Amino acid sequence: MSLLLDVLSWVLLLSGGLLSIVSAFGVLRLPELFQRMHSATILDTLGAGLVLSGLILQAGFTVISFKLFLVFLLLALTTTTAAHALAKSALADGIYPKGIDPEVVRAGLSEGLPGRQRIATDRARERVAPPASPQEDPPPQPSEEGGPPWA
């Protein structure tokens, strides 16, 4: 029984460690904000979750494993919320995921949102397509990948 628990906890610990390395690599190598965030969030939730559950199996049914569970709960709450806030701020600032039509994102963003949010999305829209004026140059064409050049 204890051997089984040991093996199981080591499998969890090692897979958690491996996942952390992979996602750290992803944060460094992925080209775009949202993809990097995806990678970092995997590290925060699944990587840390696996390592913590491995440690809980090692600690057994004690106060320590309860504390580890609390740590897991805290991580699960805070990192996902932080990721949500980060993505939302990025969208409000006019940074959109590559390969997705900005209009779709904007339609989703401005639907049913109260005042301040609509202001933010309006601001973002202005950054994507500045109000056309006849004297100025035409707005910059999207690059070949389909996203705006600064994304």
Partner 1 sequence: MGVAIDIILLLFLLSIAFAACVTRNLFSAAMLFGIFSLISATLFVVLDAVDVAMTEAAVGTGVSTILILITLASTGYRVSPRPAGRQVLALAVSVVLGATMVYGTLDMPSLGSPDAPVHTHPIAQYYTEVSPVEMGIPNMVTPLLASYRGYDTLGETAVVFTAGIGVLALIGRRRRKDPLPIVEEFREGGANRHRVLRVISKQLIPPILLYACYVQAHGDFGPGGGFQAGVIFASGLMLFMLLFGVEHARRIIRPVVLEKLIALGLLIYGGVGLVNILQGGAFLDYRTLAHDPQHGLHYGILTIELGVGITVAAVITTIIYSFASHLRDHVMQRTLRLRQGADAAQTSPESGA
What does the DSSP assignment read for 5-69?
HHHHHHHHHHHHHHHHHHHHHHHHH-SSHHHHHHHHHHIIIIIHHHHHHHHHHHH-SSHHHHHHH
Q: Based on the shown chain and the rule CB under 8 A, indicate whether residue 62 belongs to the binding site for partner 1.
A: no
State which of residues 21, 22, 119, 129 lies at the interface with partner 1 (CB under 8 A): 119
Question: Which among 95, 128, 121 has a CA at the least distance from the CA of 106?
Answer: 121
Of the pair 36, 98, the CB lying nearest partner 1 is at: 36
Shortest Cβ distance from residue 141 to partner 1 (Å)?
A: 29
- Of positions 67, 84, 123, 127, contacts partner 1 by CB under 8 A: 84
| 7 contacts partner 1 (rule: CB under 8 A) | no
Which positions lie near partner 1, rule CB under 8 A? 74, 77-78, 81-82, 84-85, 88-89, 92, 116-117, 119-120
